Amino acid sequence: MDMLPLILATIFTAATPLLIAALGEHVVERAGVLNLGVEGMMIVGAATGFAAAVLSDSSVFGLLAGALAGMALSAVFGVLVIFFATNQVATGLALTILGLGLAGLIGQNFVGQPRGAIAAIEIPLLKDIPVLGKAIFTGDPVFYLSLVLVALVAFGLNRTRIGLLLRAVGENHTSAHSLGLPVRRLRFWAILFGGLMAGLAGAYLSLIYTRFWSPGMSAGRGWIALALVVFAAGHVWRLVLGAYLFGGITVAQLHAQAGAIALPSQLLSALPYLMTIAALLVLSLSGRKGGGAAGSLGQPFVPER
């Protein structure tokens, strides 16, 4: 088999969890909430998903369980920041720390257990396109799902009424409240969606990307997803671009390590994270201050009565 389609396919596999988690956080931030707990929700999704898949011997069930675990954790965050108006940064960081610990506990009996690959979906005819056909149209189900989700989120935010309301709540919660929009309820739903996506991204990591569970395996991908949202600056298509760019770098550095480039492997492994910093730097230097973030991002909302 040719190398190129294979490499492309691994890029998509590496990028998919980033894309899904970032997509969830994108919705959360459009609603004006900053959830720094993506890493925590992801790792809990990875551990729970893997455990559930092993116990039930169903990867699909595992993916579902992982997503729900992420959502459960986000519900904790939601209750705290929405209804107790706690500081979102501190609560998000706490969520990540809690998630890392919780995941270790959930996954402790499953370390090192192998798990078979989930069946790929091959799309007839399209898969016969040279190079790209093999890379794109023989992917796993969640890869396709991620693309559908991107389209749904883009359409939902920009073209539907609920999307308009969600963006309004994120843009200016005081105005939204004075117009009678249910600010806190809308934000809570957005947070739950973010958790669902982060959990699914985590389960993808342990069930499809690596196909084993080890503690700390999310390895900062939640943070990269957060950086992607900043990078996207409100545009879903830039989220896709960013995710595949990072997927590409991740895979490239793996090949570079294997290909005996005379650089310490630690340095190569650090590449995606260095890129994150570089991307954020470029973004903040390039004109538009505020970077398209929602107007009320990170500010707790407490209606006076």
Partner 1 sequence: MSEFVRLSGITKYFGALLANASIDLVLRPGEIHALLGENGAGKSTLVKMLYGLLSPDSGEIRINGEVVTLASPQEARARGIGMVFQHFSLFDDFTALENIAIPLAGEVAGRDLREKVRAKAEHFGLAIDLDRPVYTLSAGERQRIEILRALMQDPKLLILDEPTSVLTPSESESLFKTLDVLAAEGTSILFISHKLEEVRRLCSVATVLRAGRVVAEADPRKTSARELAALMVGEGVADLRTVPGHGFGAPVLVCDRLDVEPDTIHGIRLSGVNLTVRAGEIVAIAGVAGNGQSELYSAISGEGGTITAGSVTIAGKAVTREDINARRRAGAAFVPEARLGQATLPQGTLSDNIVLSWHATEDIGGLFVDRNRLGAVSAGIIKAFDVRTPSTDPLAVQLSGGNLQKYIVGREVTRNPGLIVIDQPSWGVDARAAAHIRQTLIDLAAKGAAVLVITQDLDEALELADFIVVMCEGSLSAPRPVREVTRDEIGLLMTHRAGGPSGGVHA
What residue ranges bind partner 1 (CB under 8 A)?
A: 161, 164-165, 167-168, 171-172, 174-181, 288-290, 295, 303-305
Taking the CA of residue 244 as centre, how many other CA atoms within 13 Å lie in the half-sphere pointing to its CB?
13
DSSP string, 166-230: HHHHHH-HHHHHHTT--HHHHHHHHHHHHHHHHHHHHHHIIIIISSSB-TTTTTTHHHHHHHHHH
**CB 87 to partner 1: min, Å:** 16
CA distance 162 to 108: 41
Residue 141 or 171: the one with the smaller Cβ distance to partner 1 is 171
**CB 10 to partner 1: min, Å:** 38
Residue 123 or 155: the one with the smaller Cβ distance to partner 1 is 155
**CB 105 to partner 1: min, Å:** 41
**CB 278 to partner 1: min, Å:** 23
Q: Write down the residue that tokens 């190079």 correspond to.
A: 131
Residue 116 or 290: the one with the smaller Cβ distance to partner 1 is 290
CA 281, 282, 287, 290 dihedral sign is negative
Residue 134 or 184: the one with the smaller Cβ distance to partner 1 is 184
Residue 5 or 156: the one with the smaller Cβ distance to partner 1 is 156
Kindly report the backbone phi and psi dihedral angles of residue 119, in degrees, each rounded to the nearest multiple of 5, phi listed first. -65, 135
**CB 227 to partner 1: min, Å:** 22
Nearest to 34 by CA among 43, 25, 24: 25
CA 241, 146, 164, 72 dihedral sign is negative
**CB 78 to partner 1: min, Å:** 21
Residue 176 or 226: the one with the smaller Cβ distance to partner 1 is 176
Beta strand residue intervals within the chain, DSSP E: none
